[in-house]
Amino acid sequence: MAFWAFAGWNSGKQRSDADARLQGRLQTAVADYAHILGNAEQRGRRLASSPRVQQALARRERRRLAHLGGRDVSFALGRSVGSAAPEAVTRTVEVVAHGRTLGWVIVKVPFDERLLARLERASDLPDGGALGFARGDALTIGGGGAQMQARVPLGRVIELTSGGERYRALAALLGAGPHARKLVVLAPAAGIAANANAERWRVAVVGFGVLVAVLLVGYALAPAIARNRLSSQQRAQAARVLSHVGDGVFLIDSEGVIRLWNTAAEAITGLAAGDVCGRSTELALSGWRNVAPLVPVATRPGDQAEISRAETVPLDIEGRELWLSIAGVAFTDGTVYAFRDVTNEHRLEAMRTEFVATVSHELRTPLASMHGAAMTLRHRHERLDADTQEELLDMIAEQSKRLAELVEEILLTGQLDAGSLSIASEPFDPEQLVRTAVEEARHRISDGTTLEISAATLLPYVVGDGVRALQVLSNLIDNAMKYSPGGGRIDLGVAQEGESIRFSVRDEGLGIPTGEQERIFDKFYRLDPDNRRGVGGSGLGLYICRELVHSMDGRVWVESEPGLGATFIFELPIATPLLAAT
């Protein structure tokens, strides 16, 4: 009985080894598939950055785009992308020029015989082996495209029959979602069974001669063999689980050398495991010496007495500052650290803090003015002449209007962020819009500042929300007056540029540094955060302008040189000729 148990165990080991090799070939094929998708992504990005592609998309030259695309590459015009074909996986890259979305580059990787043939070459399948794609209960095998009905579960080897041949099959998921495809590797079951049976009989022949010795050795080694096999399976399973953990995990041994670096750590930091493992922490992660003392480390997992929460620390990775929420657990082989990327959360929190400080400052001045005027009217109104009372009431009205405008900006920003703001889409006269904005601005203009209009004749109508477009133009005019403290001339222009109407507001004020021209449209960002130039504001005006223009399918940008003023420009699409003529 011991002899047959040993022979059976050896035969089972052969099957397990065959299954392990099958799994290795599947992992190799999946890795090559990921490499193919990466190449598709890179190809899409190269095309998206090509001036020829950008020019063709801007001009909507479909024939030229078809020539530039080539095999398995297509282009989508406009701001949206169609749904992907069910027989291919796609990588889409947005094509943006001058802040405007021109279209999309779509690189397809079809699930066809060509892809299967490449994956088969990469996985080095045995004779009679094959790869296939599975979707639901449908399985397509090999270059011949043979199809069959079979459900192959993930992570478990099964046997199935195709064309009278038995196969051992193992599947891995190639994407996310309930309808994602599986990659299936198949190896002939007959060859595996033949090898296992041959090994069994070989052991039988040898074993009969040393039956007693095998019996004693079998009894002595059986527990150790079982533990070793269980340990190997546990290690393999732990490695698979660790590679699918969402948090970054790495191990530093007692000598300060990184011994483990999981997939999530690669994705978060951009550092490959091969470039990190085996190197000292200080060489692989610059700044770790300063960060390490701040990271809480427990002596066992989940020990709340020693560690209550992870610590958020900055770490410089190849010139990029990452904020990581990190904690560690020490054990005999070193220390295991787990971390998450909270850079965006940290940046948002900093912006919120700055916004609270800015709004507090903006509220303090009008509230103080209103309070002082109200208290003066309350306690001294009988001793004040009519002109002084009227002046104090004007101050209260003006400051209350300023508060209302600030609250309106905050509420409008919330609506834009939530996507709940209703934007109309109807034709309106661009020249009338400019003249209305100028008439309203003349009541707010300061001494020494002049407004001039430059408008082309017979402009076509634009399509969008006239009220919101007026709000954008008024904001830009107010911004020009605010950043022209010494007065000067403000020029408003409106002209046709291709299929758009271009509005421009030019001032002779302070100007904007080159490095700040992209950031001034960000939420909460102010060019003068410390109010050193005496220019206040909530940091929301230009953000609101950008979002409103984008919601009307337009684009906005700034052109400026420090000390020479600035020109803010936005474009809106023209209406159809029929509507433009009405």
Q: Sort 118 into a burial class: Cβ within 10 Å, 0-12 / 13-18 / 19+.
A: middle
CB atoms within 10 A of CB 185: 30
Question: Would you state the CATH architecture of domain 346-418?
Answer: Orthogonal Bundle (1.10)
Question: Residue 579: what pLDDT?
Answer: 43
Provide the terminal-to-terminal Cα distance of the chain, rounded to the nearest Å.
99
Beta-bridge partner residues of 506: 491, 567
Q: What is the 3-state secondary structure (H, E, C) of 543-557?
A: HHHHHHHHHCCCEEE
Q: Which CATH number applies to 426-580?
A: 3.30.565.10
Residue 567 confidence (pLDDT): 92
CA distances from 476 to 202, 438, 481 (A): 89, 11, 9
Q: What is the pLDDT along the chain (582 residues), one digit of tens a residue?
A: 655 566 666 667 777 888 888 888 888 888 988 888 898 889 889 888 888 888 888 888 888 888 887 778 888 887 666 666 667 888 888 888 888 888 888 888 887 888 888 888 888 887 778 888 888 778 888 766 677 777 788 878 888 887 777 888 888 888 776 667 888 888 887 777 676 666 666 666 666 665 677 667 777 777 777 777 776 776 677 667 776 777 888 899 988 899 888 888 888 888 888 888 988 888 888 778 888 888 888 887 766 555 557 888 888 887 778 888 888 888 888 898 888 888 888 777 776 776 666 666 667 767 777 778 788 878 877 778 888 878 888 888 877 877 777 777 778 777 777 878 888 889 999 999 999 999 988 887 776 788 888 887 789 999 999 999 999 999 999 888 887 766 688 899 999 999 999 999 998 888 888 878 778 887 777 666 555 554 556 678 888 899 999 999 999 999 988 878 899 999 999 987 544 444
Residue range(s) in the chain whose domain bears CATH number 3.30.565.10: 426-580
The neighbour count for residue 163, using CB atoms within 10 Å, is 9
Kindly report, as residue ranges, where domains of CATH 1.10.287.130 are found in the chain.
346-418
**Cα(394)–Cα(502) distance, integer angstroms:** 37
Q: Residue 359: which of 545, 544, 526 has the closest Cα? A: 526
Token code pair at residue 161: 């029959």
- 155 phi-psi bin (left φ>0, alpha ψ -120 to 50, beta other): left
Position 1 scores a pLDDT of 60
What is 41-56 written as a DSSP string? Answer: HHHHHHHHT-HHHHHH
How many other C-beta atoms can be found within 10 angstroms of the C-beta atom of residue 548? 23
DSSP 8-state symbol, 175: S
Q: Give the Cα separation of 97 and 555 in Å (integer).
A: 11
Hey, what are 137's tokens?
């209960």
Contact 459, 496 (CB under 8 A): yes
Structure confidence at residue 513 (pLDDT): 84
Give tens-digit pLDDT for 179-202. Answer: 678 888 888 877 776 766 666 666
- Residue 97, beta-bridge partner list: 100
Nearest to 576 by CA among 425, 449, 437: 425
Token pair listed for 353: 């803090």
Architecture of domain 248-341: 2-Layer Sandwich (3.30)
Give DSSP secondary structure letters for 5-40.
HHHHHHHHHHHHHHHHHHHHHHHHHHHHHHHHHHHH
Please give the structure tokens belonging to residue 491.
């020029």
Boundaries of CATH 3.30.450.20 in the chain?
248-341
